[in-house]
Amino acid sequence: MEAIKWVLNKMSKSDDKHLGMMSTEQVSKAQAFHRSFPQYAVTPLARLEGMAAHLGLGSLCVKDESYRFGLNAFKVLGSSFAMARYIAGEMGRDVSQLGYDYLTSQDFRKDFGQATFFTATDGNHGRGVAWAANKLGQKSVVHMPKGSAKSRFDNIAKEGAQVTIEEVNYDDCVRMAAAEAAQTEHGVVVQDTAWEGYEEIPSWIMQGYGTIAAEAAQQLGEKPTHVLVQAGVGSLAGAVVGYFANLYPSDPPKFIVMEARAADCLYQGALAGDGRPRMVGGDLQTIMAGLACGEPNTISWDILRNHADAFVSCPDWVSAKGMRMLAAPLKGDPAVTSGESGAVGMGLISTLMQDESVQELREALGLNETSRVLLFSTEGDTDPDKYRSIVWGGEYPTA
């Protein structure tokens, strides 16, 4: 069985210029925007008291994003807020003036017209872009990397997007979307990865993701001691870490960033230790499709190099283990339907607490019976066939 790899963060600090974008004040604007949607509801925080006791933790909570806007994943929070911020800028208005009622009105269509939003996705982000564009009367074009699940393609197409599955990986799909947007009148790239010259929209997407962290903080009612968050390009990780670092500036939780082994660009950057991001190429084959991104968001990387405590590269069995544990919890604990990209935190925390091969990391992070651990299940069964083959069929066993 392939081993978990990890590295503690020894990188020198930067000037931390991006941390302020995830302040509680900035995130509250995103929360207010999301609350204007009739579909909005705070997603559940599953308190796994039995599992915490079983693993030797003080508490274990899982933020369950499978309920978000009926879309089975968290991504719509970022794309919808970024689209609103873009529209607000084009109209010379503040985003606080652009709630759901106005953005779906005839007055808005007359005032703004129509733009075309381009994106690349494994499924969840593209569905969020397509859903938001559909609701706001805009157009969307979505490119998916090779190997994308038909169920995810169908869910995007249902929202009226022009969607294709390409014969290239995720990062090449991003470049394709950007090139097409540049050649399209009123074409806009809505991508949660940042690169030189493309930072504004990714920063808005990260602020949109801040709604998850803010809700979780309010639901917890006390500071978590450890926050485990998964990363593809790192936008969610940077948003979560940035929010909690702002919320508890003098005594932040310990932050553990997890990636799929096949696309562990943040881990590779931390391993190099010089503060510069690294890229991972190839097909990026992993069951954690939402994390199959080999080029990091440069904004998020800057937040993570300053505030993350550890970076962990996880083989696929870690996620599969987490999926099964969340689906069949200890008696009295709520079940959580968590997909391949959502359950890696559960698989990792259980391994950290029970497997002596990672004892050094457990001790370095101070994980013990007093620890209050927060996880994020970022998606439900967005690929139902794959979910069942893992949870019911035992695919990717741990032994």
Tokens of 235: 């936008």
- Does the structure show a pLDDT above 90 at 272? yes
- Does the structure show a pLDDT above 90 at 210? yes
The residues facing 84 across adjacent strands are none
Q: Which amino acid is at 270?
A: A
The catalytic residues are 75, 122
Could you report the per-residue pLDDT of 379-398, keeping only the tens digit for each? 999 999 999 999 999 999 99
The arithmetic mean of pLDDT across residues 314-343, rounded, is 98
Class (C level, CATH) for 76-196: alpha beta
Segments making up each domain of the chain, as ranges: 5-73+202-391, 76-196
Q: Hey, is 350 helix, strand or coil?
A: helix
pLDDT tier for residue 1 given thresholds of 50, 70 and 90? confident
Class (C level, CATH) for 5-73+202-391: alpha beta
Tokens 């997007």 sit at which residue?
A: 161
Could you report the per-residue pLDDT of 56-96, keeping only the tens digit for each? 999 999 999 999 999 999 999 999 999 999 999 999 999 99
Q: Hey, is 230 helix, strand or coil?
A: strand
pTM for this entry: 0.96
Q: Does this chain's domain 5-73+202-391 share its CATH topology with 76-196?
A: yes
The arithmetic mean of pLDDT across residues 185-212, rounded, is 94
Tokens of 221: 């009612």
254-260 sheet: strands from edge to edge: 5-8, 310-314, 254-260, 226-230, 372-377, 59-64, 45-47
- CA nearest to 64, candidates 369, 355, 282, 374: 374
CB 240 within 8 A of CB 266: no
Indicate if the alpha-carbon torsion angle 218, 223, 228, 233 is positive or negative. Answer: positive
- CA nearest to 258, candidates 383, 125, 397, 378: 378
